[in-house]
Chain A
């Protein structure tokens, strides 16, 4: 099993396509942070305008923690797309290249190969979110220093400087958990088609449609909202509420986990019976 997993990690890491997502993050994150640095004071004034009559803002508001939380908010709709870029290619890529004929005519069972590929997919998503976390937070702290984390959301929340780091850490971990569900769906679509674009379009279409359904306040849509996995992808935002609604977080973790397992089981069922015609 270890060697099969090693093979899959090697194949993914040698493929140029795997790095597109990393490249995208490596470009966007510094770009945003440098832009913020250049016109930071204006923004700070803009954010605090409504509140500065009632509050006295002291210290470093536009700090690394704040910037990280802001970028997470801005990008978390786009990261699924980047995760899918890698995850959707895991099975479809082998079909396109014709290499299933090498892989599946050997004594190693399809279940084991599928498991190795799924583990690689999850590792890929983890690596991508971790890369984003380190880059965003590292560069943020470097450029803007540290300080108390102010959240201007539905309510105004102040997270003490001492708490900000671990809250951000857990937020990224929860974001990874959500991305694993997205990756599992892309992996499922990847088992159905023989080209790399199909899973990408399929996964994004599902996510976009579900987002729309989640946000239209019709009774019917409100009723089905709890059954859509996309309704739980924002679980990491709970880490920036006060107090943290742990029950809600845990519930989301369970639901997303169940969806991931469900997607994997369906993929397994399809893949074991699949005729390899490529």
Chain B
């Protein structure tokens, strides 16, 4: 049987000089889902996606594609993946068709019918012979999605696929993603800094902030269950973190500045408190901050004000 998990990361981390862009990231993407990867600008989304697609080498941790590790030597997992990272850049002096031919041949299967099919899917067949130089941003974005669809991959990874598009373009891309996920067994990994966008398209999601995973789960459950962000103040943060992690009460927990930030259902907060006190951890404060939605809005607003 096929492994239900198509993409998994273990303790993935990336350091640029002294700054950690991504830290200790564990993601699991299941077959067939639309996975929304949500975070404010600069949260580490693109760095993570670049590591998933072998553009950047992780400082720590590893990536597994379809159950096989992705390394410099072992890249076979990439055969079943199509990706679009950040801006859709192409060889501007070549036609759209030639660009697709080049990309397809790197996968090892360069069939004219497949190229015609992906151009048809994104509605660019009529302009296929024009140089990409003459394309509008929206058309390049669609061509970017087209190249990710070459060879009918099992997983496509799209980094902010609606960024820079007008409302009509956003609507088209959203409909395209819904069409792709409903049609086949294709898994879609989608990053965005807009909660509304993930809500509308994704079935599962992970929120990342300052390079760390905040929470991960099914969209419907996370947004409806009253998952809360809880801040715990204690002088024994390390011990407390270990206890929280082993208790399984919190979806995620890590140290942010002077506090431990936990993501957990509201009804479990009392259990967690009891556990910490029983372990002789002095708890100075335990504050349920906000619901997940409010929390996300607050971190994205904070980021956009900078």
Contact = CB atoms under 8 A, between A and B. Distances in A.
B89 A97 contact: yes
B75 interface: yes
Interface string B39-72: 0000000000010011111000000000000001
Q: Which of A4, A97, A104 has the most CB of B within 10 A?
A: A104
Contacts of A14: 91, 93-94, 98
B72 to A, nearest CB: 6
Contacts of A16: 93
A275 B76 contact: no
Interface residues of A, number: 28
Nearest to B94: A14
Interface in B175-194: none
Nearest to A97: B89
Contacts of B102: 7, 10-11, 102
B147 interface: yes
B91 A11 contact: yes
B55 A107 contact: no
A15 B94 CA distance: 9
B129 interface: no
Contacts of B93: 14-16
Interface in B94-147: 94, 98-99, 102-103, 105-108, 110, 147
Contacts, number: 80
Interface in A231-278: 272-273, 275-277
A175 to B, nearest CB: 30
A137 B223 CA distance: 77
Interface size range of chain B in the complex: 20 to 34
Interface string A84-120: 0000000000000111111111111110000000000
Contacts of B110: 3
B91 A100 contact: no
B105 A4 contact: yes
Contact of B55 (A97, A108, A276): A276
B89 A98 contact: yes
Contacts of A102: 89-90, 99, 102-103, 147
Given A6-B105, A109-B72, 17 more contacts: A10-B102, A97-B90, A99-B90, A101-B55, A103-B106, A105-B81, A105-B83, A105-B85, A106-B103, A106-B107, A107-B78, A108-B75, A272-B72, A275-B50, A275-B55, A275-B56, A275-B57
28 contacts: A3-B110, A4-B106, A7-B102, A10-B98, A11-B91, A14-B93, A97-B89, A98-B86, A98-B87, A99-B89, A99-B90, A99-B91, A100-B55, A101-B55, A101-B85, A102-B147, A104-B55, A105-B81, A105-B85, A106-B78, A106-B107, A107-B107, A107-B108, A108-B107, A110-B72, A273-B57, A275-B57, A276-B55
Interface of A: 3-4, 6-7, 10-11, 14-16, 97-110, 272-273, 275-277
